[in-house]
Amino acid sequence: MERKNAWKTYSEEDISKLNAISAEYVKFLDNGKTERECVTETVAAAQKAGYVDLEQAIAQQRALNPGDCVYSDFMGKALMLFKIGKQPIFKGLNIVGAHIDSPRIDLKQNPLYEDTDFAYLDTHYYGGIKKYQWVAMPLAMHGVVAKKDGTLVNIVIGEDPSDPVIGISDLLPHLSRDQMSKKGSVVIEGEELNIIIGSKPLNDEEKEPVKAAVLALLKEKYDIEEEDFLSAELEVVPAGAARDFGLDRSMIIGYGHDDRVCAYASVNAILSIDETPEYTCCCLLADKEEIGSVGATGMHGKHFENAVAELVNATGEYSDLLVRRALTACRMLSCDVSAGYDPNFAGVFERKNAAYLGRGVCFNKYTGSGGKGGSNDANAEYMGKLRRLMDDANVNFQTAELGKVDQGGGGTIAYICANYGMEVIDSGVAVLSM
């Protein structure tokens, strides 16, 4: 049951459409390196497409009618777009959902220190990173500083070609005998992810003059002080733009494919709906997936459920029962990346049930690990309907598991949405070097 390579099926027109979408996706990657930036980008695109703020509609007690488009920006880190359909909300929504947080290195609340003529930022990594990959490479800092007076300072350092970058040092090979004999997980340890941000002392400062110089720069450029780090969310990510990969330009290399490739496709999908859909459509962009979908902006939070309640209310009679019926009747693609088959590491894959680059969107009936633990395990009936939809629309797709049985595994937001009783399946794009 080998799935065909989609490249072989494309017409010239298909290829030019694909190139146009890919170019837009590269921009999305570059402009959205954090969950906040992804929300900002998407809200701007949604507003341009005529979407209005759900909060505003609620404040004005506006009724929502079929064809209306609203968005709900939750804390600037999670986002939902809705296009109201002809059927009542309790008949369920058609949902595509992806996550917009990616593994990275966050600054600690008290990060700044000086050691032996270097100024450093101390960090705590976020999500599942291979720590040794983050040293000796250019890094950029993105995020916000919330000042006591309520102002929010946006910070992006290291992306403009004229910007400086920052980074973490690694040991030279000449002195790495002990380091190179360590297990991969401890070659670089969490507390060693200290970011160098300066080495030039402030002339007339006796105590910690390099740190003082950096603070003077931050004061000058952003009007922030050391104590302002206490209320900041500053995320350190690989610096630089996404770009074409391969001599044939058939791939894209960049930070944050997981899961912005699915987020971009999901946003693109809902914004491309011209006519009033039969059922209300929803694009759901979740935060905190990489650390278990926890917190107010993660999928375990109540913002999605509350937004659906608001839709029930704004489109007709409200009742708790109608909200429950709406949530249960949903159909969802939980969109997240799959591990692309890598011939260089063939041993961790089972070839018949692996995802391949270029073979179309990948459906995972289940993810999880070790005996399907923690997976959603979508219904066969739902997968059957999706097969028919895909084949009727002539869309390439494949199916896969996340590697060989007992090799590892992973989870997504699918099982959380499935708790409402809705039909949901994992689907997404195959990615190499995830």
Footprint of Mn ion on this chain (CB under 5 A)? 258-259, 336
Q: What angle do the packed helices 257-271 and 35-48 form, to 10 degrees?
A: 10
Kindly tell me which of 145 and 337 has the beta carbon lying closer to Mn ion.
Answer: 337
Burial readout 163-179 (b: 16 or more C-beta within 10 A, e: otherwise): eeebbbebbeeeeeeee
Q: How many CB atoms lie within 10 A of CB 276?
A: 15
Between 312 and 400, CB nearer to Mn ion: 400
By C-beta, is 266 or 315 nearer to Mn ion? 266
How would DSSP label each residue in 88-137? -GGG--EEEEEE----EEEEEEEEEEEETTEEEEEEEEESS--GGGGSSS
CB of 46 to Mn ion, least distance (A): 22
| Nearest distance in Å: CB 304, Mn ion | 18
Shortest spacing between CB 260 and Mn ion, in angstroms: 9
Tell me if residue 190 falls in helix, strand or coil: helix
Nearer to Mn ion, 41 or 259 (CB): 259
In contact, 140 and 165? CB cutoff 8 Å: yes
**Minimum gap (Å) between residue 187 Cβ and Mn ion:** 24
CB of 368 to Mn ion, least distance (A): 14
Distance from the Cα of residue 271 to its chain's centroid: 18
What minimum distance in Å lies between the beta carbon of 290 and Mn ion?
7
Nearer residue to Mn ion within complex by CB, 70 or 402: 402
Amino acid at position 379, single letter: N
Q: Is the dihedral of CA 330, 336, 342, 348 positive or negative?
A: negative
State how far the Cα of 5 lies from the Cα of 8, in Å rounded to an integer: 6
Q: Minimum Å distance from CB 208 to Mn ion?
A: 40
* CB-CB contact of 158 with 189 (8 Å): no
In angstroms, the CA 381 to CA 121 distance is 52
Sign of the four-CA dihedral 195, 296, 92, 53:
negative
CB of residue 369 to Mn ion, shortest distance in Å: 14
Q: Which lies closer to Mn ion via its Cβ, residue 39 or residue 57?
A: 39
State which residue, 312 or 339, has the beta carbon closest to Mn ion.
339
Task: Give the span between the Cα atoms of 100 and 288, in whole angstroms.
Answer: 8
CB of 327 to Mn ion, least distance (A): 23
Residue (of 108, 145, 152) closest to 126 by Cα position: 108
CA angle 164, 208, 146 (to 5 degrees): 60
CA angle (350, 406, 347) in 5-degree steps: 40
Task: Give 63's DSSP letter.
Answer: P
By the 8 A CB rule, do 402 and 408 touch?
Answer: yes
User: 114 vs 336, which CB is nearer to Mn ion?
Assistant: 336
Q: 198, 184, 196, 218: which is closest to 138 by C-alpha?
A: 196
Asked if 80 contacts 307 with a C-beta cutoff of 8 angstroms, the reply is yes
Least Å distance, CB 57 to Mn ion, is: 31
> Is the Cβ–Cβ distance between 146 and 244 less than 8 Å?
no
Q: Which residue is nearest to Mn ion (CB)?
A: 259
| Nearer to Mn ion among residue 224 and residue 434 (C-beta) | 434
Q: Is the CB of 127 or the CB of 201 nearer to Mn ion?
A: 127
Q: Please, what is the minimum distance in Å from the beta carbon of residue 149 to Mn ion?
A: 37
When the beta carbons of 258 and 401 are compared against Mn ion, the nearer one is: 258
